[in-house]
Chain A
């Protein structure tokens, strides 16, 4: 894929990638840095993307996700980054930044585990298929439906509690 074509496609993915990174890192500034780094990494080696192995969207989101995990590892190298994902939640600054109408949703999302937030953003915000979600999260495709359903039910419960 030509670099300029890739740039155009990546532009459309910026906000979704930022939303995903925010859910993982719990901070919009760190999330923007993660997306910026992912852009830099991908655009410095555009040939690394092979269209035959899947879409650019899940591939780029996997780069962003791995970058976020690396960032968490750098923050606290002694801990297992993936375990720490479970404890990260968007802080109050994130909640303040979102529009009023989405505040309840953001608050409810913050109550879920990182894995649940991630899978909801990937499916309902980024509109990825189950196969693509499995690819991004590096999990078996067969587990996506149950994980997603549990996450949605948990979110629904949180929203009901807030409303």
Chain B
């Protein structure tokens, strides 16, 4: 393949690059210079320009903004997740409430043991809360969190 032929092939895709404003200054000058002396490339550039405009003006989708707004506000989008969380947390709270009241009002467990168990679980809950809080603060304020090592 001659050097000239290679240049011609390369110019082909650069025509698209020129049209899209994606070339460097040097490439732009080279393509423009080439087009001045090459009727075929000049014609190609013009036809690509027309083609691009035709696609840009085409109605490839005619759904319309209102329809998309309906899609976006569709309750199917948000409701299932909310219902899921409400059911899960509600159920959990009821079960936990029953268990705690059964534990607190049970006559079979000694009062000292009750205090001990409350202390253990209360301590665990406090620790969990403090760790979660710290993590949350770090997540919001750590400016290096996205740095990959």
Q: Which residues of A contact B (CB under 8 A)?
A: 7, 10-12, 14-16, 18-19, 22-23, 28, 31-32, 35-36, 39-40, 43-44, 50, 52, 97-99, 101-102, 105-106, 120-121, 123-125, 127, 129-130, 145-146, 148-150, 152-153, 155-156, 159
Indicate the size class of the contact surface on chain B: 20 to 34
* Cα-based distance from A32 to B78 in the complex (angstroms): 18
Residue of B nearest to A33 (CB): B71
Across the interface, do A156 and B48 meet the contact criterion of CB distance under 8 Å?
yes
The B interface, classified by DSSP as helix, strand, loop or mixed, is helix
Across the interface, do A152 and B72 meet the contact criterion of CB distance under 8 Å?
no
Q: Which residues of A contact B14 (CB under 8 A)?
A: 145
Q: Which of B22, B51, B58 is in CB contact (< 8 Å) with A129?
A: B22
Q: Does B68 interact with chain A (Cβ within 8 Å)?
A: yes
Residue of A nearest to B81 (CB): A44
Across the interface, do A105 and B54 meet the contact criterion of CB distance under 8 Å?
yes
* Cα-based distance from A91 to B67 in the complex (angstroms): 22
Across the interface, do B65 and A125 meet the contact criterion of CB distance under 8 Å?
no
Q: Does B3 interact with chain A (Cβ within 8 Å)?
A: no
* Cα-based distance from A156 to B15 in the complex (angstroms): 14
Across the interface, do A123 and B20 meet the contact criterion of CB distance under 8 Å?
yes
Q: A11-B68, A124-B55, A129-B22 are in contact. Are A145 and B60 (CB under 8 A)?
A: no
Q: Which of B15, B22, B59 is in CB contact (< 8 Å) with A102?
A: B59
Q: Does B5 interact with chain A (Cβ within 8 Å)?
A: no
Across the interface, do B60 and A98 meet the contact criterion of CB distance under 8 Å?
yes
Closest 5 CB pairs of A and B: A14-B68, A19-B60, A124-B55, A149-B13, A18-B61
Across the interface, do B72 and A106 meet the contact criterion of CB distance under 8 Å?
no
- Can you list 27 A-B contacts (CB < 8 A)? A12-B65, A14-B71, A15-B63, A16-B61, A18-B61, A32-B63, A35-B71, A36-B74, A43-B78, A52-B146, A98-B62, A99-B62, A105-B54, A105-B55, A120-B55, A125-B56, A127-B56, A129-B22, A130-B22, A145-B13, A145-B22, A148-B20, A149-B12, A149-B13, A149-B16, A152-B52, A159-B51
